[in-house]
Amino acid sequence: MMEGSSKLDHILMDCIQAIEEKGWTVEDCLYRYPDLRHDLKPMLEAAIRLRNIRSLVPSNRFQRETLSRLQLRLQASHRPPKSAIFQRGTHSEVTTLPKTRILPRKKTALQWVFPILVAAFTIVVVAGGFTSIANAAKPGDVLYQLDQTIEQVQIQLQPSVEKQTRLYLSFASERLDEIFDLIKEQKSDHVIIALQGYEQNIHAAETLLNENIIGKEEYQQLAVVLNETLEAQTIQLQELIVLAPSSDQALIQAAIVKISYIRIAMVILTPTATPTPQVIRTQVSPEPSGTPGPYMTKSARPSPIADGTPPASVTAITSATSIIATVTSPTSLASPPITASDTPNPIYPSDTPSYPPSHTPSPTPSYTPSPTPSPTPSHTPIPGPDLTISPYQWVPSVPEGSIEYLDFLLRNIGTVTVQAEYRTQLYVDGIALQGTDPEIGLREGRMLLPGETDIDYFIWRATCGVHKLSAVTDVDNTIAESNENNNRIEDFTITVDCGTTTPPQ
C-alpha cells in the first residue's frame, strides 16, 4: 500500500506538471498509464480543477487597505512594533533587505561612534559640495542613494525627537515633490520608489512620535504638526492621482488611505484627544465657487510642513471623523481648513445628513492653544450607539458599463458598541439595488466599537445617464441609536457618459 500510494502520487504530480507546463490533456496522461486509468482519472480531474483556482485572491479593497489596517492592529497589540528609525529601506522585495534590519536594536557600547562617523562624513560631503546636488536627486538619478544616505545622517544628528520628527516630515514632503517631478518627466517607473520613501518617512515620524513622547506636553504640539502636514499632503496626493498614469493611481490611493488611518490612530492614541472644531463634511458635494480646486498647480499647493508653531488655521488633533471627511471629500481636501469655532472643544457630526454650504472659513482664523484643554466636551454625545455613513471617494462621472466600487465609511460615533446586526442599502435613483450579480447593493454590517470606523463598498454597474445615488445604513432600523438622523448618504449625482470607455476628465 505504501509503495502503491507513493507511485500513484508520483504519477499524479507528473501528469499535473505535464498538463500545466507542456499542454497535455488529461487523456494524454491516462493514455500513458492505462493500468491506472480508473484511479488516476478522477484524481487528476479534481486536482486540476483545484490547481486552476490558485489564482484566487482577496478582494481588491482588502488588498488595498489591509496593510494599513494591519499596522493599526499591530500597534494596538500586546507587542506594538518598535521604532521605525532604521526602517528606511523596503521589505517589499526581500532581496533588498538591508542587513542592519536584523541587528538587535539594543544600544551597543560603540554606538556613540556612529554619530561621530556620520558627522564627519557629512562634513566631508558638504565640503565637497555634493549635498545640494544630491539633495536635488530623484529616484532613478545616480545621486539618489547619496541623497538618501545624507538624509539618514541628518536625522541621526538631530538632537531631539521633535527635530527628528520634523525632519522626517520634511523628507516626506521632498518625496512628494519628487513624485510630481517624476510624473511631469514621465518617469512613472520611479514613482513607486519615491512613494515608498514618502510612506516610510511618514511612518517613521509617526512611530517616533508615539514611542517617545506620547503623553508628554510637547506631544500635542508635534501631533498637530504631523496632522497638519498629513492633511496638506493628502491634498497633494489627491492632485497626484489626477496627474499620475493609471498604473500609479492605485498606489497613491493606498497612500492616502494609509495617511487617513495614521491620523485616525493619532486621535485614538492621544490621551488628551481633542477633536477639532472642524465642520464635519461627510458628503461629496459640488465644489463651491471660489474655493481652490483639487487640481492646484504645484506652486499653489499648501506648504506641506507646518512651521511648528501652534497652527493658525486648525486646532489640536483632528477628530477621526473629520479626518475621514477630509479624505472623503475632494472639496474639503482642496478647501482651506474649515473652522466652526475657535475653541478646541470636540464637536460631533451634525444631526442632519446634509451640510449647508455656509461654513465659509474665516480668512484669518485665530486660535490660541490652550495648555490645558477642557476635558469636558461642549457637546457630549447622547449615550448609546450611533452609526454614521459617508461616501469614500465617489467620483462624479464614470464611463458606461464600468463596474464601480462605491466605497463608504461607517463609523460608530456613539458611546456603545454597534452590533453586527444592521445592513446598509444602496439606492440608485431611489430604487434599492437588489444585488444582482455582479452588482451588490446590500451589505451586512460589522460590529463597530465606539469610535471605530469600517470601510465597505457596493458594486454597481454604471448605466447610461445621470443618476442619483444614495445609501442608508441600518436600513432595517435594528440598531437603537442615539441619533437616527445621520444614517444616510444623500443624493450623490453621478453622470455616466453614454458610449465612453474611459473616464472623462
Partner 1 sequence: MHSKIDPNEGALILASVEGDGKAFEALYIRYMKAIFRYIFFRIGDENQAEDLTEEVFVRAWEALPKYQHRKYPFSSWLYRIAHNLIIDYYRMKKPVPLSNGLMRSYPSSAESLDHIVNRKHETQLLVNAMRKLSELEQEIVLLRFVEGLSHEEIAEMVGKSQTACRVTLHRALKSLRATLAKLEGYT
Residue written as grid cell 485614538: 268
| Shortest distance in whole angstroms from residue 399 CB to partner 1 | 9
57 exposure class (CB count in 10 Å sphere: 0-12, 13-18, 19+): exposed
Q: Which three cell numbers stand for residue 250?
A: 492605485
What are the backbone dihedrals phi and psi of residue 428, each rounded to the nearest 5 degrees, phi first? Answer: -115, 115
Which residue, 83 or 380, has its beta carbon nearer to partner 1? 83
Pick the closer one to partner 1 by CB: 75 or 415: 75
Instruction: Kindly state the smallest distance separating residue 419's Cβ from partner 1, in Å.
Output: 14
Torsion over CA: 76, 81, 82, 86 (sign): negative
Q: Nearest distance from residue 81's CB to partner 1, in Å? A: 3
User: If we measure between CA atoms, which residue out of 272, 372, 358, 273 comes closest to residue 318?
Assistant: 273
CA angle 67, 65, 494 (to 5 degrees): 165
Smallest gap, in angstroms, from Cβ of residue 56 to partner 1? 5
Of the pair 87, 470, the CB lying nearest partner 1 is at 87
For 144: left if phi > 0, alpha if psi spans -120 to 50, otherwise beta; the answer is alpha
Which CB, 84 or 428, lies closer to partner 1?
A: 84
What are the E-state strand segments in 32-123? none
- For residues 35 and 19, give the distance between their C-alpha atoms in angstroms, rounded to a whole number: 19
Residue nearer to partner 1 on the CB measure, 100 or 478 = 100
Strand partners of residue 454: 410
Q: Which residue lies nearer to partner 1 by CB, 103 or 480?
A: 103
CA–CA separation, 226 vs 323, rounded Å?
13
Least distance in angstroms from the C-beta of 91 to partner 1: 3
Q: Which is nearer to partner 1, 63 or 303 (CB)?
A: 63
State the Cα angle at 266 between 208 and 376, rounded to 5°.
130
SS3 221: helix
- Residues contributing to the site for partner 1 (CB under 8 A): 1-2, 5-6, 8-9, 12, 39, 42-43, 45-47, 49-54, 56-60, 62, 66-67, 69-71, 73-74, 77-82, 84, 87, 90-92, 94-95, 97, 99, 101-102, 104-105, 200, 203, 402-403, 435, 437-438, 440, 444, 459
Give the H or E element holding residue 403: strand 403-412
Nearest-approach distance from CB 60 to partner 1, in angstroms: 6
Between 43 and 146, name the residue whose CB sits nearer to partner 1.
43
Tell me how far, at minimum, the Cβ of 161 lies from partner 1, in Å. 18
CB 457 within 8 A of CB 478: no
Cβ pair 84, 203 in contact under 8 A: yes
Q: Rounded to the nearest whole angstrom, what is the least distance from the CB of residue 40 to partner 1 in the complex?
A: 10
β-bridge pairing 397-399 and 488-497? parallel
- Taking Cα atoms as reference points, which of 326, 328, 466, 333 lies closest to residue 396? 466
Q: What is the C-alpha to C-alpha distance for residues 282 and 419, in angstroms, rounded to an integer?
A: 23
* Shortest Cβ 44–partner 1 spacing (Å): 8
Which residue, 415 or 500, has its beta carbon nearer to partner 1? 500
Beta bridge partners of 397: 495
